[in-house]
Structure 1
Amino acid sequence: MDKLVSLQTFIRVVEDGSFAAAARKIGQSRSQVNRAVAALEDDLGVQLLNRTTRQVSVTPSGQAYYQRAKGILADLGEAEESIRESRETPSGDIRINAPMSFGTLHLGPALVDFAGLYPDIRVELALNDHFIDPVADGFDMTVRISRPSETLALIDHEIIPIKRVLCASPDFIHTHGEPDDIRALTTLPCLHYGNLPSGASWKMTGPDGPVAVQVNGVFCCNNAEVLRDAALAGLGIAEIPTFIAGPELQTGRLVTILCDYTPPELFLYLLYPPSRQLSSRIRLLVDFMHERFGGQPRWDLVQ
C-alpha cells in the first residue's frame, strides 16, 4: 500500500479515535483502514496502536510517529502550495502578530500598502504586547522587538536594530538641569516601562562599560507611547525606542540626554515556522519588510 496513504490513514485513526470513524471520514472500509495501519506497523517493526473491542489508543511509539508524520504531511502540503503559488498570482491568508505600538505607528500602515500591492493576499493583523507561541496560536508570522529568539523550531529573520535613548522635555531640563552623570537618575524623576512603582533598574553601556542604575521611578506604564506623552508633559526622564519618540526628537519637543550611555540593543525581527518559508506569500512579505524598514530607519534622529 502507498506509504503516503498509510500515513494519512494512521493520522486519521489517531485523531478520530477509532478505525470505524476514520473509515467513514475517508470513505473506505474498516478493514482497509486496519490494513493500512498494520502495514505501517509491519514496516516499522513496532506497534503504533493498542486495539480492543471498544477503543483504540496510541502507544508511546505511535504518539511519537504521529507527531513526526503530521509534521511531514504539513511540510508536504506547504511545498505543494508553494509550487502552485509560483505559477499563480499570490493569494491566500497571512496571519501576523505584532507588538501594539510598532503595529499602530509603523507596521499597520506598511501592511495597508502591502495589501494594496497584493490584493489577493488576505492579511490578518493581531496586535498585543504579550508573548505568544506563533505555532500554537496559529500565526504565519510574528513581528518582535527584542533580542532574537534562539529556538531551533522557528526561523528568526532580522530586519534592523532598534535604538533606544534617554530623553526628556526641554521644560524638564530647564527645571531640573541637564544631568551629566548617570547616577543622577537615582534622584531625578524617571518614567519607566513596567509595573514597579517603587523604581526600576536601567541597564546601559557607558564610557567605562556596562552599568546598572536603580532609577527614581515616579511613573510607569507597559506602553512606551504613554511614557513618551509623560515625558512630553515634563514628568521625567524616559528610556524610549526612537521608532516611538523619533518625531519629537527631530522637532526638539524631546531632547536626548546622557548620550554617552546606551541601553542594550534590540532588534526588529520576523519569526515564523520553517515550513512557512516555502510560501510565496511569506517570501513576498519578508522582502517587503526589508524594503520598507531596512537600512537607516526613517524615525531615527541623526546625531
Structure 2
Amino acid sequence: MDQLQSMRVFVKVADLGSFARAAAQLDMSNAVVTRHVADLEGRLDTRLMNRTTRSLSLTEAGQVYLERTRQILEELDDAEQMVLERTHEPIGTLRIVAPVVFGMHNFGQVLRDYTQRYPRVIPDITLVDRSVDLVEEGFDVGIAIARNIRSASVVSRRLTTGCLVVCAAGTYLQRHGPVEHPSSLATHACLTLNPGMSGDEHLFEGPDGQTRVRPNSVILANNTEMLRQFALQGMGVAILPSYLIGKDLERGALVPLLPDYQLAPIDIHVVYPSRRYMPAKLRTFIDHLVEHFEEGPADGASERWLADADGAVLAGSLTLEAIRKSAEADRQQA
C-alpha cells in the first residue's frame, strides 16, 4: 500500500484513539484503515498499537514512530504549500539570461515595472553573448536573438522584430561624404562585427534587387555597443540593431543611411523550458514581456520612430541633405 497514506492513517487513528472514528473522518472503511496500520507494522516488523475490543493504545515503538511521523508529515505539508504558493503566486528567484547589449539597453524599464508589480520575485540576470543551453544551465527564461539559445525542447514565443540600420555620425559624413548605395560600403570606413559573429558580407534588398556587399572593415569588434561608441565618435559607418541605437537616431547623434535598402530583420523571442507546471513567477514574467513589447517595439519610443517608414525616410533625407550641402560648401571653400 501507499506508505505515505498509511502514515497519515496511522496518525489519524492515534489522534482519535479509534479505528472507526478515523475511518469516518478519512471516508474509508474500517477494514481499509486497519489494513493501512497493519501494513506499517509489517514494514517495520513491530507492533505500533495495542488493540482490544474496547481500547487502543500506542506501544513504546508506536509513540516514537508517531512523533517522528507527525513531524515528517508537517514538513511535507509545508513543502507542498511552498510549491503551491510559487505555482499560484509570483514568488522566488527568477533566473534570466539575455544577450549583453540587448539586456543593457532594454531590460531596465522592463524589470523595474515587473518588480514593482511582483515585489516577491527576485530577478537574477545573466548577460552573455555565447550560446546558452537553457535547461542544462538552470535558467528559467531567456531572450533569444538569432540562435543564442541552443537548448532542445524549449518553448519559443516571439516578442518583437527589430531591424539592422546602416548609420554614421554626421561628423564622419561631413568628412567623407554620403553613403547612397550599399556598394559604397566597400570604400567607406566600416565598423563591423567579427566575421565569425555576422559573416563578412551583407545582403541588402532594395529598388534594384539584391545587393551583396563586403564592407571595408577598418575596425572589428565582438560587441555592438563598442561599435556604437566608435560610430558616435565619427570613426566610420556601422550596421547596428535598432534596439541599440534608436535613441541616438532620435536625437541626431547618428544618421540613418540607405533608407531604401533593408537587411534581414531581427526576430526577438522569449524562450522557456516547458508550458507544463509553469510557476507563477515565470508565467507572469512572460506575460509582462509580451505586454511590454506589444506596447512598444524593442527599444521603446526610439524604435517607434523607426517603425514610421515615412518619418524615418524623411528624417534621414533631411539630415543627409544638410550634410550634402555642408560637404559641398566645404569643397567650394577649399
The TM-score normalised by the length of structure 2 is 0.61
Residue identity (%): 30
Report the residue type matching 1:190 in the other structure: C
Deviation at 1:113, TM superposition (A): 2.8
Report the residue type matching 1:139 in the other structure: F
1:187 aligns with 2:169: no
Mapped to 1, the partners of 2:82 and 2:255 lie a distance apart of: 51
Report the residue type matching 2:129 in the other structure: D
Mapped to 1, the partners of 2:257 and 2:277 lie a distance apart of: 42
Matches within 5 A, 1:90-109: 90-109=90-109
Report the residue type matching 2:174 in the other structure: H
3-state secondary structure, aligned to 1:132 = coil
**Counterpart in the other structure of 1:256:** 256
3-state secondary structure, aligned to 1:205 = strand
8 A Cα contact 1:190 1:216, kept in partner = yes
**Counterpart in the other structure of 1:273:** 273
Mapped to 2, the partners of 1:147 and 1:131 lie a distance apart of: 7
Mapped to 2, the partners of 1:277 and 1:167 lie a distance apart of: 45
Q: 1:276 to 1:165 in 2, by over 3 A?
A: farther
8 A Cα contact 2:131 2:148, kept in partner = no
8 A Cα contact 2:132 2:149, kept in partner = no
3-state secondary structure, aligned to 2:201 = strand
Mapped to 2, the partners of 1:201 and 1:112 lie a distance apart of: 38
Question: Greater share of strand residues, 1 or 2?
Answer: 1
Question: Greater share of helix residues, 1 or 2?
Answer: 2
Matches within 5 A, 1:10-89: 84-85=85-86, 87=88, 89=89
Deviation at 1:170, TM superposition (A): 0.9
Q: 1:94 to 1:149 in 2, by over 3 A?
A: closer
Gaps of 5+ in 2: 6-42, 44-79, 313-334
8 A Cα contact 1:82 1:280, kept in partner = no
Mapped to 1, the partners of 2:294 and 2:178 lie a distance apart of: 34
The TM-score normalised by the length of structure 1 is 0.67
Q: 1:148 to 1:97 in 2, by over 3 A?
A: closer
Mapped to 1, the partners of 2:292 and 2:226 lie a distance apart of: 26
RMSD of aligned residue pairs (Cα, Å): 2.9
Mapped to 1, the partners of 2:149 and 2:141 lie a distance apart of: 13
**Counterpart in the other structure of 2:207:** 207
Deviation at 1:209, TM superposition (A): 3.5
3-state secondary structure, aligned to 1:142 = strand
8 A Cα contact 1:81 1:279, kept in partner = no
Q: 1:80 to 1:149 in 2, by over 3 A?
A: farther
Mapped to 1, the partners of 2:252 and 2:124 lie a distance apart of: 36
Mapped to 1, the partners of 2:155 and 2:137 lie a distance apart of: 16
8 A Cα contact 2:192 2:220, kept in partner = yes
Deviation at 1:219, TM superposition (A): 0.8
3-state secondary structure, aligned to 1:200 = coil
Report the residue type matching 1:214 in the other structure: R
Report the residue type matching 1:210 in the other structure: Q
8 A Cα contact 1:160 1:295, kept in partner = no
3-state secondary structure, aligned to 1:110 = helix
Q: Which has the larger radius of gyration?
A: 2
Deviation at 1:218, TM superposition (A): 0.5
Q: 1:239 to 1:111 in 2, by over 3 A?
A: same
Gaps of 5+ in 1: 6-31, 33-78
Mapped to 2, the partners of 1:128 and 1:150 lie a distance apart of: 13
Report the residue type matching 2:167 in the other structure: C
Report the residue type matching 1:112 in the other structure: R
When the two structures are aligned, how many residues end up with a matched partner? Answer: 228
8 A Cα contact 2:155 2:275, kept in partner = no
Mapped to 2, the partners of 1:162 and 1:175 lie a distance apart of: 30
Report the residue type matching 2:194 in the other structure: G
8 A Cα contact 2:191 2:218, kept in partner = yes
